[in-house]
A and B are shown apart, each in its own frame.
Chain A
Amino acid sequence: MSISSGATAAPRGGAVGSPLLAVDDLQVEFRTGSGVVNAVNGISYTLAQGETLAILGESGSGKSVSAQAIMGILDTPPAHITGGTVVFEGRDLLTLPPEEQRQVRGPGISMIFQDALSALNPVYSVGFQIGEMFRAHQGLSKKDAKRKAVELMDRVRIPAAAQRVNDYPHQFSGGMRQRVMIAMAIALDPKILIADEPTTALDVTVQAQVMDLLKDLQRDTGMGLILITHDLGVVNEVADNVAVMYAGRIVERGTVDDVFSRPAMPYTEGLMTSIPRVEAKGGRLVPISGQPPNLARIPSGCPFHPRCPRRRIGAEAAPGRDCAVDHPPLRLVVPGREAACHYSEEVLGV
């Protein structure tokens, strides 16, 4: 394992060690009264020890649903996992019986959510809730569990942990509650932590504190981190690799450096030109036209084609590569980079 010691930490790019987790062709749909919502349409990725993989995408692109499928916390109905495998420690989590799933996933993979307040139980002290992890999974006594809880609160940098262990969630600020969630998530030393927009609800100064904490914990434990976010800045500052999602699919994947410096997919390109920069006033923004698609009615061919400035349709298209008709699979464009676009070579200029 090669964990470098730069200011931003983490091994950047490429595969690091052997994969901890392999997701292959995962598909999830919601069967609702008004039709089928195709939320996740065949996504695949791997995560290595010590790696931070960012899943980047706009609202409704399927980021959370794909993570919830891996965690086994989707409600069926309405959600149905209609295909794919999630291999962790050599076993496909999706086909294990529920009881075994829990035994494997429980200590091995944990998740933190965007909204820490609603994820915590308001009637129990935070110390009790953190301690519960040890009582339930390791059979510790009440007293030992509490001692462990204080240790963990210290580790996630909650000031005066010993005094605050009996406080209730509402007595903590948003940033402190998110630390409590992180404490619970790392209590059992998971190999993988999935963080679903862990800082989106927080102020930017608190967001920086929490991201810093996550990176330090990752460096100490070597856990793999899947970071779900819509913030390109967060991706750039903390992730090694990035998977860009659009309409329930991964449309581009590679190292953050490569993808952000030279996107191979017009959607990623559009995201980069849409956002203003804090380090310069910059000229006029170049937005992506239109809106993200409704997942109950995903456009034919390339799902991005109605908004794509580079689309080629009909006579303009190369044979078998009509953007309105032919679906572009995620494919290797140049070494280390995959993109789901018929014309990625042109986008990259290779």
Chain B
Amino acid sequence: MSDDSSRPSDRDQEVARAAAGATTGSGASEHGGTTASEPLLQLKNLEKHFPLTQGIVFKKTVGHVRAVDGVTLTLGRGETLGLVGESGCGKSTVAKLLVALEKPSDGQILYKGRDVARMGRRDLKQYRREVQIIFQDPYASLNPRMTVGDIVAEGWSVHADIAPKKGRLQRTQELMDRVGLNPDFVNRYPHQFSGGQRQRIGIARALALQPEVIVCDEPVSALDVSVQAQVVNLLEDLQDDFGLSYLFIAHDLSVVRHISDRVAVMYLGSVVEEGTDSDVYGSPSHPYTQALLSSVPLHEPHLRGQKDRILLQGDVPSPANPPSGCRFRTRCWKAQDICATEPPALVDRGQGHPAACHFAEARSVVPVDVE
């Protein structure tokens, strides 16, 4: 594939991929919560505060939007970490921080044990190649004036070592074929493709750089139900073939459960609960997770009415002015005095997985389907 596989980093990568491939098994849904090796990516207390400004000529900072406010997460090799939460909770900001489209206000991102903020130019370039992103909106994220072939090959102008100039067209067509696009359409423009096909173009563009990690920011949210499943299956197959790790962001809790090994739930800039898919969905322990799960409408008639109904009051507070103590307390039915003063740490309080609630308690909300 690459003509200079003699470079040590590439060799490392091949070995890592082989190893990841071996533990991945035949289906993405099979690797459970077992991530044996050291994490590939670690986010430590990551923060991103956007200044809130007033005035046009003389901009004055009048506050900060605490979009991401102390997020700690790990992603293992070959693993899929799901990130769920409602609009504005900071999911996309985490994604942008990860792919270095935004700079953290505080905290660290460690990749293969090394702090990304302290990487030199060469390493940073390598990092940017190995950690790719695909976006929610396949319409907005593709340049309408470029052909599909140019879009897929674009990254090779920066990372020329990956694909020798001569074989690029063939390689592009191979990639198109791999993601389920007709290779004959290499000279077509994005508007000539459907939504699902455009998402495939975005996936091919990410794959072209032989990444280790793909950050998927709502990759199927804009797609029709019947097309969503095609893209989900493609992502699973690619993970098996290339030993990829995914950070899979979505607000659809069913899709996240389906594809993820572990799941983190965000509320107002921080993670409130984290665990394997069965921890979070089977024994949710944070009141917000419980409310979120209980709001998901189930589509099977025999399960109708079997779910705990928790109707939350009110709306999500502004991230510019989050509540003191526990951020969820303004909507929480269990709140006590301590919740207004002490921010609850994200730790295991006996439920087998961490939840950021002083009074964490496992409760089964969605019926367990025994079919």
Chain A positions near chain B (C-beta within 8 angstroms):
6-8, 58-59, 159, 173, 175-176, 203-209, 211-212, 230-238, 256-257, 260-261, 270-289, 291-292, 307
22 sampled A-B residue pairs with Cβ under 8 A: A7-B305, A175-B315, A203-B251, A208-B297, A233-B297, A236-B304, A237-B298, A238-B297, A260-B300, A273-B229, A277-B254, A277-B258, A277-B298, A277-B300, A278-B253, A279-B303, A279-B368, A279-B369, A282-B29, A284-B27, A286-B229, A291-B227
B305 and A176 within 8 A (CB): no
Residue of A nearest to B309 (CB): A7
Select which of B87, B255, B293, B312 is within 8 A of A276 by beta carbon.
B255
In the complex, chain B residues whose CB is within 8 Å of the CB of A237: 297-298, 304
Choose among A208, A281, A286 the residue that contacts B257 (Cβ–Cβ < 8 A): A281
Chain A residues near B296 (CB-CB < 8 A) = 204, 233, 278
Q: Which residue of B lies closest to A236 (CB)?
A: B299
A206 contacts which chain B residues (CB < 8 A)? 315
Q: Does A276 contact B254, Cβ atoms closer than 8 Å?
A: yes
- Taking a contact as CB atoms under 8 Å apart, the answer to whether A207 and B295 are in contact is yes
Closest to A282 in B: B258
A231 with B297: in contact, given A275-B254, A281-B278, A292-B224 (CB under 8 Å)?
A: yes
Q: Across the interface, name the chain A residue whose C-beta is closest to B291.
A: A205
CB distance from A246 to the nearest CB of B (A): 10
A274 adjacent to B229 (CB under 8 Å): yes
CA gap between A256 and B255 in the complex, in Å: 23
A205 partner, pick from B228, B301, B312, beta carbons under 8 A: B312
Return A134 CB to nearest CB of chain B, in Å: 28
Q: A8-B304, A275-B254, A285-B232 are in contact. Are A58 and B299 (CB under 8 A)?
A: no
From B86, B300, B312, B369, give the contact of A236 (CB < 8 A). B300
Whether, in the assembled complex, B7 has its beta carbon less than 8 Å from a beta carbon of chain A, the answer is no
By a CB distance below 8 angstroms, the chain A residues around B197 are 291
Are B225's CB and A278's CB within 8 A?
no
Q: Are A285 and B369 in contact (CB under 8 A)?
A: no
Is the pair A279, B295 in contact by a Cβ cutoff of 8 Å?
no
Q: Does B218 contact A (CB under 8 A)?
A: no
Complex formed: what's the CA distance from A159 to B331 in Å?
Answer: 14
Of the candidates B278, B298, B302, B367, which one forms a contact with A233 in the assembled complex, judged by CB atoms under 8 Å apart? Answer: B298
Whether B194 is near chain A, meaning CB under 8 Å from some CB there, is yes
Are A159 and B233 neighbours in the complex by a CB distance under 8 Å? no
**Inter-subunit contact A260/B229 (CB<8 Å):** no
Q: 7 closest pairs, A vs B, by CB? A: A233-B297, A287-B229, A276-B258, A208-B295, A288-B226, A203-B86, A274-B229
Give the complex CA separation of A270 and B48 in angstroms. 42
Closest beta carbon of chain B to A172's beta carbon, Å: 9
B236 in the interface (beta carbon within 8 A) = yes
* Nearest CB of B to A244, in Å: 12
Q: A8-B305, A209-B311 are in contact. Are A287 and B227 (CB under 8 A)?
A: yes
> In the assembly, what is the distance between CA of A177 and CA of B233, in Å?
37
| Interface residues in B276-321 (C-beta closer than 8 Å to A) | 277-278, 281, 291-305, 309, 311-312, 314-316
